[in-house]
Amino acid sequence: MQDIKILQIGLGPLGIKIANFIKERRGLTTVAAVDKNPDLAGKDLGIICGGEASGILIQSELNQAVAKEKPDIAVLTTVSDMQRITPQIEEIVALGIPIVSTCEELCYPWDAAPSLAKRIDEAAKQNKVAVVGTGVNPGFLMDALPTFLTAVCQDVTSVQVNRYQDAQFRRLPFQQKIGAGLTPTEFEQKKQDGSLRHVGLTESMQFIAHRMGWKLTKTEDIIEPILAEADLQTKDLSIQKGQARGVRQVGNGYVGEDIKVHLVFQATVGEPQSYDEIIIRGNPDIISRIPGGVNGDVATCAIVLNAIPQVLRAQSGLQTMADIPLVSFFS
Amino acid sequence: MQDIKILQIGLGPLGIKIANFIKERRGLTTVAAVDKNPDLAGKDLGIICGGEASGILIQSELNQAVAKEKPDIAVLTTVSDMQRITPQIEEIVALGIPIVSTCEELCYPWDAAPSLAKRIDEAAKQNKVAVVGTGVNPGFLMDALPTFLTAVCQDVTSVQVNRYQDAQFRRLPFQQKIGAGLTPTEFEQKKQDGSLRHVGLTESMQFIAHRMGWKLTKTEDIIEPILAEADLQTKDLSIQKGQARGVRQVGNGYVGEDIKVHLVFQATVGEPQSYDEIIIRGNPDIISRIPGGVNGDVATCAIVLNAIPQVLRAQSGLQTMADIPLVSFFS
């Protein structure tokens, strides 16, 4: 079978990691690359990825990138929000190219951004291609996976997901991303400017609620620091008592007074255990636990690639992980 | 929205339980029922299910059952094997009725019964309906769920599933089904006549292997007794030292010398722990555990009903749980 030809759009750290993952995979080949960053224009993708020259030069414009050969699918790793991704998607699907994207808000935009979702859906249908947003979270651990686990339930009254991560041995950028080492005031500032927020918690709640048939009357997305009770030291970072050692983000999806969806993401330096846990209350209760948790860096890149065959099989339009056939590793 | 109209075919214990589950569910209604058992002919489904008269009389013939009104889907709970289910399916799809079935071998028949699978696929396509086999096992715990968990893997080298159940507090028929209380000789006889076998282990292995891109060169399906090391007593059953207290069934799927898929189903009186565990080796490893395990009685009935909306959305033909959109509870 011929390789699936991939157009990569967005060559930031995530796009580069995906490019390297594609190289490892049988059945997938990157044939073109686009990034608006002028520093990358004309550079060889292979070199940018830390390897040998590939002959694929990064283009600034989509039209240039696809001039020679039409790709089978675009992997879009540019932005996290619907506002900015929508025109990008419209430009790509207009060329008849389906899309899988890591855009967090695209994973389930029907409630949070209905008019943009509709715009994408119509553009995709008009061009007879599917558009899917996915990732490990949102896209899997806190929405698609708990939703699939309810398949064995005759009734479901609530869904809870706990994702706890010990950042002790993670890279410095991850520790900084979760606010480790910030004073409470600095943490609050970063919370206000949005740079601490895990994007997609509300979308994950709406994904689950939609499938369970619950009309959420209110959603909450609460961010707070977890403060160090003693001085802490990692390889790269000193955290003093009273500074943040990480973040706790809680999503609550209500129907009336009842919390029907409860999502907890807590990542700190010195978290006693890393794990992903799903607690479904219903008939029967289902509790599922992944000890150690799922490493987000590998998983997000992997699930985007694993989704490709199913996006190509999917009906046209804006689809979610709940709409396309079961995504899995393939080779 | 109007209820989905269900034709139930097969009113044994499983069919009756499903009928009662349908009554509990919003959005689903049984409109007709068929069973070849002459003792059931003309009986009211509601009465047979232990409730009030429903006005739905069990018919011996499919044509009689659908004469008044065409159902949206058939729930087929008659037999476990492809040989006998195939003509039943052909008769149903000829009327333009899609099917979801608990037939174990139907969950993934493409390798074990390719010519029958092809017959069903062609009949379904010709009549523009989908046919899906599902259940908790096969259909979910040992195939679809581990397959979905590989979605976050960049590489997978093997898949193992352990399903351990303590039968101490289960009903007597379940304890008997797993051979508890049999002498080794009696166990061997029942093993030979096939009545101890959990049907579908090979199909689950082939389901997983197909998606992972592994061509299995050999499969094993090994059944052995677990013998009591001391006298045991349950509410309904006395087991003497040296008698079987349950069964261990192991499926091995090989590629050359390597076991790529390893499925263990062990159900005994006095099993220390009940749990369902998935161990995926690859990048990354994923270990997932459901403490307490999933109760098969509730789960099989539930997943059949939960699959219905996705079977109705699916492309026509013989489909598997890997082909249709994500199955989940709905209301």
Choose the closest CB to B212 out of A136, A148, A331.
A331
CB neighbour list of residue B194: distance below 8 Å, 6 or more residues apart: none
Cβ <8 Å between A301 and B154: yes
Choose the closest CB to A284 out of B287, B295, B305.
B295
CATH code where residue A105 lies: 3.40.50.720
Does residue B156 belong to any structural domain of this protein?
yes
The pLDDT tens digits for A305-331 are: 999 999 999 999 999 999 999 999 999
Q: Which of A113-117, A196-200, A230-234, B304-308 has the lowest mean pLDDT?
A: A196-200
Distance from CA of B163 to the nearest CA of A (A): 14
| Phi, then psi, of B9 in degrees rounded to 5 | -120, 115
Does residue A324 belong to any structural domain of this protein?
no
**In the predicted structure, residue A171 carries a pLDDT above the cut 90:** no
Contact B168, B269 (CB under 8 A): yes
Cβ <8 Å between B289 and A288: yes
d(CA A79, CA A12): 10
Verify that A247 and A125 share a domain, yes or no: no
- Using an 8 Å CB-CB cutoff, list chain B residues near A322: 325-326, 328
**In the predicted structure, residue A1 carries a pLDDT above the cut 90:** no
Q: CA-nearest residue of chain B to A27?
A: B213
Q: CA-nearest residue of chain A to B207?
A: A328
Optimal mutation site among B328, B330, B331, interface A, most CBs of chain A within 10 A: B328
Verify that A9 and A82 share a domain, yes or no: yes
Does residue B29 belong to any structural domain of this protein?
yes
- Residue B306's pLDDT is 98
Does residue A328 belong to any structural domain of this protein?
no
Choose the closest CB to A302 out of B148, B153, B289.
B153
Q: At what angle do helices B114-126 and B82-93 cross, to 10 degrees?
A: 10
- Using CB atoms within 10 Å of the CB of residue A27, give its burial: 0 to 12 exposed, 13 to 18 middle, 19+ buried: middle
The pLDDT tens digits for A137-152 are: 999 999 999 999 999 9
Does residue A331 belong to any structural domain of this protein?
no
- Using an 8 Å CB-CB cutoff, list chain B residues near A289: 288-291
- Residue B297's pLDDT is 85
CATH code where residue B219 lies: 3.30.360
Verify that B114 and B164 share a domain, yes or no: no
- Using an 8 Å CB-CB cutoff, list chain B residues near A288: 288-290
CB neighbour list of residue B25: distance below 8 Å, 6 or more residues apart: A154, B305, B331
Q: CA-nearest residue of chain A to B324?
A: A325
pTM over 0.90: yes
Contact A66, A29 (CB under 8 A): no
Choose the closest CB to B291 out of A26, A287, A306.
A287
- Using an 8 Å CB-CB cutoff, list chain B residues near A297: none
CB neighbour list of residue B237: distance below 8 Å, 6 or more residues apart: B172, B175, B176, B180, B181, B269
Verify that A154 and A276 share a domain, yes or no: yes
Optimal mutation site among B329, B330, B331, interface A, most CBs of chain A within 10 A: B329
Count of domains for chain B: 2
- Using an 8 Å CB-CB cutoff, list chain B residues near A153: 299, 302, 306, 329
Verify that A88 and A173 share a domain, yes or no: no
Structural domain range at position A253: 144-293
Contact B200, B163 (CB under 8 A): no
Optimal mutation site among A1, A328, A330, A331, interface B, most CBs of chain B within 10 A: A328
Verify that A107 and A222 share a domain, yes or no: no
Verify that B217 and B123 share a domain, yes or no: no
Read out DSSP for A40-106? TTT-BHHHHTTSS--S-BEESSHHHHHSS---SEEEE-S-SSHHHHHHHHHHHHTTT--EEE--GGG
Q: CA-nearest residue of chain B to A307?
A: B151
Cβ <8 Å between B24 and A287: no
Does residue B327 belong to any structural domain of this protein?
no
Average pLDDT, chain A: 97
Tens-level pLDDT at each residue, chain B (331 residues) = 799 999 999 999 999 999 999 999 999 999 999 999 999 999 999 999 999 999 999 999 999 999 999 999 999 999 999 999 999 999 999 999 999 999 999 999 999 999 999 999 999 999 999 999 999 999 999 999 999 999 999 999 999 999 999 999 888 988 999 999 999 999 999 999 988 888 999 999 999 999 999 999 999 999 999 999 999 999 999 999 999 999 999 999 999 999 999 999 999 999 999 999 999 999 999 999 999 999 888 999 999 999 999 999 999 999 999 999 999 999 9
Verify that A227 and A307 share a domain, yes or no: no
Verify that A104 and A164 share a domain, yes or no: no
Q: Among residues A100, A79, A148, A3, which one has the least CA distance to residue A314?
A: A100
Cβ <8 Å between A152 and B144: no
Q: CA-nearest residue of chain B to A209?
A: B330
Verify that B219 and B284 share a domain, yes or no: yes
Distance from CA of A304 to the nearest CA of B (A): 9
Confidence tier at A197 by pLDDT (50, 70, 90): confident
- Residue A297's pLDDT is 85
Does residue A68 belong to any structural domain of this protein?
yes
Cβ <8 Å between A299 and B284: yes
Cβ <8 Å between A284 and B307: no
CB neighbour list of residue B171: distance below 8 Å, 6 or more residues apart: none
H-state helical runs in B5-113: 13-24, 45-48, 62-65, 82-93
How many cross-chain Cβ pairs, A to B, lie less than 8 Å apart? 161
- Using an 8 Å CB-CB cutoff, list chain B residues near A326: 144, 147-148, 321-324, 326
- Residue B238's pLDDT is 95
Q: Among residues B294, B9, B4, which one has the least CA distance to residue B135?
A: B294
∠ Cα A100 A103 A109 (to 5°):
95
Of A279 and B173, more confident = A279
Tokens 């520790």 label which residue?
Answer: A175
Cβ <8 Å between B211 and A303: no
Amino acid at A287: I
Verify that A310 and A194 share a domain, yes or no: no
Helix (H/G/I), strand (E/B), else coil: B169: coil
Cβ <8 Å between A325 and B328: no
d(CA B102, CA B80): 7
Q: CA-nearest residue of chain A to B300?
A: A152
- Residue A146's pLDDT is 98
Verify that A243 and A275 share a domain, yes or no: yes
